């Protein structure tokens, strides 16, 4: 069975299907994003849960869009978030940022402001110290302003 991007990036549906059938994972329309996720995840398929990406449903201006990520973790040796990769699949280059956390972070949560070239999915992938990988995504609609926008 061939997956399309919507199914795979649709995560809840996509991942359940992938794990159930072991189907080869492919981003038909976003090979660059797929490669980045796979490189970051060390070839593992990201699971849902643990990570929450917060982004506005509608961005007033794509040049400055506030986003936050939070990963459930005790941030101790046994349960540690190493890093979180943020991608924007519809930007000229999907990379946005990679956050690196430590035990001193206390919690794996961070907020920044990013640029979005158009309406698209923003993706956050958390890599845990034990190698497990979790992912969340949010669609952000980028509006075209009326005035000087």
Partner 1 sequence: MAAKPKPRIKVPKEAKIGELVTIKTLISHEMESGQRKDKEGNLIPRKIINKFACDFNGAPVFSCDIDPAISANPYFEFSAKLTESGAFTFTWTDDDGSVYTDEQKITVS
Partner 2 sequence: MKKLSVVLLACVSVISAAAVSAYADPVDEKLIIDDTEIVTRAKAPEGHPFDELLSGWLFREAETRATQADSFANPGMLSVERGEEIWNTVDGSMGKSCASCHNDASETMKGVGAHFPKWDAKAKKPFNIELKINDCRTENMGAEPYKFDDEDQKALTTYIKHQSLGMPLQIDLAQGEMQSWWDKGKELYYTRTGQLDFSCASCHEKSMGKFIRADHLSQGQANGFPTYRFNTGGMVSLHNRFRGCIRDTRAEVPKAFSDELMALEVYVTWRGTGLSVETPSVRQ
Q: Which of residues 73-102 bind partner 1 (CB under 8 A)?
A: 75, 88, 91-93, 95-102
Q: Residue 73 and residue 83: Cα distance in Å, rounded?
A: 12
Residue from 74, 121, 64, 61 nearest 94 by CA: 121
**5-34 positions binding partner 1, by CB under 8 A:** none
Q: Which stretch binds partner 2 (CB under 8 A): 14-22, 33-41, 129-137, 140-148?
A: 140-148
From residue 57 to residue 76, the character string flagging contacts with partner 2 as x (rule: CB under 8 A) and all else as - is -xxxx-xxxx----------
Closest approach, Cβ 21 to partner 1, in A, equals 34
> Which of 106, 146, 147, 148 contacts partner 1 by CB under 8 A?
106
Cβ contacts of 49 within 8 Å, gap of 6 or more: 134
Residue 132 within binding range of partner 1, rule CB under 8 A: no
DSSP-derived pairing of the beta strands 65-71 and 108-114:
antiparallel
Q: Ramachandran region of residue 59, left (φ > 0), alpha (ψ -120 to 50) or beta?
A: beta
């Amino acid at each position: 069975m061939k997956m399309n991007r919507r199914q795979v990036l649709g995560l809840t549906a996509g991942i359940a299907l992938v794990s159930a059938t072991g189907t080869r994972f492919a981003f038909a329309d976003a090979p660059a994003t797929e490669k980045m996720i796979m490189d970051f995840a060390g070839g593992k398929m990201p699971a849902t849960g643990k990570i929450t990406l917060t982004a506005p449903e509608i961005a007033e201006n794509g040049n400055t869009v506030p986003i936050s990520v939070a990963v459930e973790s005790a941030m101790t040796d046994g349960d540690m978030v190493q890093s979180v990769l943020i991608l924007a699949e519809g930007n000229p280059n999907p990379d946005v940022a990679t956050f690196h956390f430590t035990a001193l972070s206390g919690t794996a949560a961070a907020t920044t402001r990013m640029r979005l070239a158009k309406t698209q999915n923003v993706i956050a992938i958390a890599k845990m110290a034990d190698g497990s990988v979790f992912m969340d995504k949010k669609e952000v609609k980028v509006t075209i302003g009326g005035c000087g926008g």
